[in-house]
Amino acid sequence: MARFRNKKRTPFVRVRQFTKKQPTVDHVTGDKIPKSFVFCRGKLPGTLRQLETDLRKLMLPFTALKLKEKKRNNLKDFLNVSGPMGVTHFLILSKTPTAPYLRVARTPQGPTLTFKIQEYSLATEIAQSQVRPRSPKDLFKNPPLIVLSGFGTGEQHLKLTTIMFQNIFPAIDVNTVKLSSCQRIVLLNYNKDTKLIDFRHYSIRLQPIGVSRRIRKFVQNHQVPDLRNLQDVSDFVTKVGYGSESEVDDEAATVSLPTDLGRVNRASNKSAVKLQEIGPRMTLQLTKIEEGLCSGGVIFSEYVNNDKSKNQKTHDEEDNNEEEEEEEEEEEEESEEEGEEED
Amino acid sequence: MESVEVANRGKRRNSGKKKGKMASKRPRLNEYKVKIDKKMKKVFEKRARDYNSDDEDEDEDEAEFTEPKRKEEEEYEVEFSDNDEEEQEEEDGFKRGEVSEDEDGGIQPGITKFADGIKAFRLAFKKIVKKSGDDDDVLGPVLSAHKKLIAEKLGEEEAEKKVKGEVKKEKNLIREKGHVKPVNYLDAHEKFLLGIATKGVVKLFNAVNKAQTAQRGLNPSRSRDEKVIKKRRKEAFFSELGRTSSQSAKTVVKVGTSGGSVDDDAPGWAPLRDNYMLTNPKLKDWDKMQDKNDEDDFGRQPQTDSSSDED
């Protein structure tokens, strides 16, 4: 018997790309499309690692979903890689015994915003808490919209925050955008009294209004309704059901669509905008803004005086001594304790 | 097996077990050695298999023992009377019979010790367990007298566990700091945020709607129409946004307006425009108008403070 040679032998390819080929420049607006890296610094517990993956999903499609980070990687390594890949922003998660921190930085030498994460919830937990969690397939194909609310007080650091967040996500051209591609929205709400920023991530859904619930469900789900108790089809169509809470739509939530979106939402008919929460939920507090990338002069600091040095010390130590993580944590603990003693 | 039959002919037998016992006594008497031949091995194994202490009671044991003893004695006497040759055996038999009375069968070291030894151990264990049922649950049935030491050791172990447990709990607390599990219902704050986000989306969609429907009538390929399109687009968009922004409360929607930074004569593609990446005076003016309201910060400014000019 002759030996059969496998002609479909695939050559050995080392796949090292961790972003797909994406346009670096938006062909409509001519602006550079911002890309981001989300990674951790230091040893993090399991829930924070989950948060990291949630944030990566949030930043899709313009981020490295499967970014491989090793213990020995410095900030410099990431910087070196970000140049050729066209990465513009870093989102860095880290943890000290007091709280986890999120740093949003603009490469290569842009400002760094440090947020203290007061509370956070994971995407899976939010899905569990909902009755009908929704996750359509193409949800993460397009970048999200961003809504910033409550930042308009005119303070310098808030303005910088708004600009930073506006630039993380790519711009949307009103004239050419397809509404079907706007499926997600990120909300950042600033509360002046508590100085906390609420971070939420929703998915957008459009529902036609003006039709009764039964007909709408019938058309959407393609399920044959139960007509046992009815005499005539007209009964089904004209039956007035009791209105549930969600049926009472505000005028404010209705939108008139320019084009058809799917079978159900027709152009120039009113549709209602329904949001459902997906993705992580965070409560952030802006603690520090630095001029450089995790370095440089401090433009703004939440706690002025002694504590400023304490915060700087912990984060600088994190940056400099990446290889000795355990010792790092000990040092941080020590420095924090010292700081507290000083106070 | 002949000898067995001979010995038991005409005699009442208690059980199969005893037959084997009886049979093996005959050849054993001569040697007084523990020589187990193949047949006896099988018998021993069978007995070990069948042995089940749960079935027997103490009383039963005693009854059984007394009966076979009597039987043995009878058989001895009868047999010995038959065979005068075995006078020695008679004495031995009696001795053995006596021994068997007292010590529960020291005659057959192989089998009897095993079965009787088990029963003896069982008796002893039962007594201990009965006695120690009154003690603390901590110690349990104790066979040795060092109760105090054991109590101390157990106490130490418990204390250690407690300390470790506390340390673990603290560690866990630090690890999970900030992690909050969301509740099942929508509370007021969440509804409020949902409302804000919805408003933002609605604003955007309406603006898009207006811009795109206005555009529909004209064909963008014709250059003359193109200018009209742009003009209309820009005005419509900004009027829409201006109106709604003054009404709503503090909401910003990030929208890149390529139309916003365009003069009427500028080409469609952004880099070809003259003021690409420069501030548009019109946009600036619009900003200043909005500053009076001081409520909203609208539109994406084409300023490039934040985006780097690496190109």
- Residue B228: list chain A partners with CB under 8 A: none
- How far is residue A250 from each of residues A209, A270, A274, measured CA to CA in Å? 11, 12, 11
A145 touching B (Cβ < 8 Å): yes
- Residue B305: list chain A partners with CB under 8 A: 163
Q: Identify from A25, A106, A174, A269 which residue to disrupt to test chain B contact, counting B C-beta atoms within 10 A and taking the largest count.
A: A174
Name the residue facing A179 among B205, B276, B295 (closest C-beta): B205
Q: What is the pLDDT of residue A193?
A: 87
Question: What are the pLDDT digits (tens) for A166-204?
Answer: 888 888 777 777 777 888 999 999 988 888 999 999 998
Omega before A108 cis (within 30°)?
yes
B133 touching A (Cβ < 8 Å): no
- Residue A202: list chain B partners with CB under 8 A: 194, 197
- Residue A157: list chain B partners with CB under 8 A: none
Residue with tokens 């009076």: B292
- CA A163 to CA A203: how far, in whole Å? 23
- CA B44 to CA B20: how far, in whole Å? 9
- Residue B311: list chain A partners with CB under 8 A: 32
Question: CA dihedral defined by B4, B6, B12, B16, rounded to 10 degrees?
Answer: 10
- The mean per-residue pLDDT over the stretch B171-190 comes to 84
Which amino acid type is present at position A221?
N
Q: Are A290 and A75 in contact (CB under 8 A)?
A: no
- How far is residue A48 from each of residues A53, A55, A92, B98, measured CA to CA in Å? 9, 10, 11, 83
User: Do the bridges between strand A281-290 and strand A298-301 make them parallel or antiparallel, or are there none, so unpaired?
Assistant: antiparallel
Residue with tokens 């036609």: A208
Omega before B271 cis (within 30°)?
no
A272: closest chain B residue by CA: B202
Structure tokens belonging to residue B277: 């990446």
Structure tokens belonging to residue A126: 């939010």
Question: What are the pLDDT digits (tens) for B206-247?
Answer: 888 887 777 766 555 666 666 766 776 677 667 656 654 443
Number of CB pairs, chain A paired with chain B, less than 8 A apart: 183
Model pTM greater than 0.90? no
Cα angle, residue B181 at apex, residues B176 and B184 outer, rounded to 5°: 175
Answer with the residue of higher pLDDT: B263 or A218: A218
Which one, of B291, B301, B203, B256, lies nearest residue A163 by Cα?
A: B301
- CA B241 to CA A80: how far, in whole Å? 41
As beta bridge partners, residue A271 has A208, A255
B49 touching A (Cβ < 8 Å): no
The Cα of A231 is separated from the nearest Cα of chain B by a number of Å equal to: 39
B117 pLDDT band, cuts 50/70/90, is confident
Question: What are the pLDDT digits (tens) for A107-159?
Answer: 878 889 999 999 999 999 888 888 888 888 888 888 888 888 888 877 888 88
- DSSP string spanning B72-127? HHHHHHHHHHH-GGGHHHHHHHHHHHHHHHHHS--S-TTHHHHHHHHHHHHHHHHH
Q: Hey, is B26 helix, strand or coil?
A: helix
Q: Identify from B190, B258, B276, B298 which residue to disrupt to test chain A contact, counting A C-beta atoms within 10 A and taking the largest count.
A: B258
Q: What is the pLDDT of residue B22?
A: 57
B196/A149 CB distance under 8 A: yes
Q: Are B79 and B9 in contact (CB under 8 A)?
A: no
ipTM of the complex: 0.73
A45/B175 CB distance under 8 A: yes
- CA A184 to CA B41: how far, in whole Å? 84
B257/A200 CB distance under 8 A: no
Displacement of CA A136 from its chain's centroid (Å): 17
The Cα of A72 is separated from the nearest Cα of chain B by a number of Å equal to: 23
The answer for A 3-32 residues in CB contact with B (under 8 A) is 28-32
The Cα of A236 is separated from the nearest Cα of chain B by a number of Å equal to: 32
- Residue B207: list chain A partners with CB under 8 A: 174
Which one, of A179, A87, A184, lies nearest residue A145 by Cα?
A: A184
Reduced to 3 DSSP states, what percent helix, strand and coil does chain A have, rounded to the nearest 5?
30, 25, 45
Q: Identify from B170, B205, B246, B311 which residue to disrupt to test chain A contact, counting A C-beta atoms within 10 A and taking the largest count.
A: B205
As beta bridge partners, residue A255 has A271
| Burial of residue B172, with CB atoms counted within 10 A of its CB: 0-12 exposed, 13-18 middle, 19 or more buried | exposed
Q: What is the pLDDT of residue A210?
A: 66
A275/B179 CB distance under 8 A: no
| Burial of residue A194, with CB atoms counted within 10 A of its CB: 0-12 exposed, 13-18 middle, 19 or more buried | exposed
Residue with tokens 């303005």: A159
Q: What is the pLDDT of residue A332?
A: 41
Q: Hey, is A341 helix, strand or coil?
A: helix
Q: Are B251 and B199 in contact (CB under 8 A)?
A: yes
Question: What are the pLDDT digits (tens) for B19-58?
Answer: 555 555 555 555 566 666 888 888 888 888 887 766 655 5
- CA A131 to CA B270: how far, in whole Å? 46
Tell me the longest C-alpha to C-alpha distance in chain A.
86
Question: What are the pLDDT digits (tens) for A302-326?
Answer: 776 444 444 444 444 444 444 334 3
Q: Is the dihedral of CA B232, B235, B237, B243 positive or negative?
A: negative
Which one, of A92, A54, A315, A47, lies nearest residue A199 by Cα?
A: A54
A146/B254 CB distance under 8 A: yes
B201/A150 CB distance under 8 A: no
The answer for A 159-198 residues in CB contact with B (under 8 A) is 159, 162-164, 166-167, 169-175, 177, 179, 182, 185, 187, 189, 198
- The CB-based long-range contact list for A2-11 (8 Å cut-off, 24+ gap) reads none
- Residue B215: list chain A partners with CB under 8 A: 175
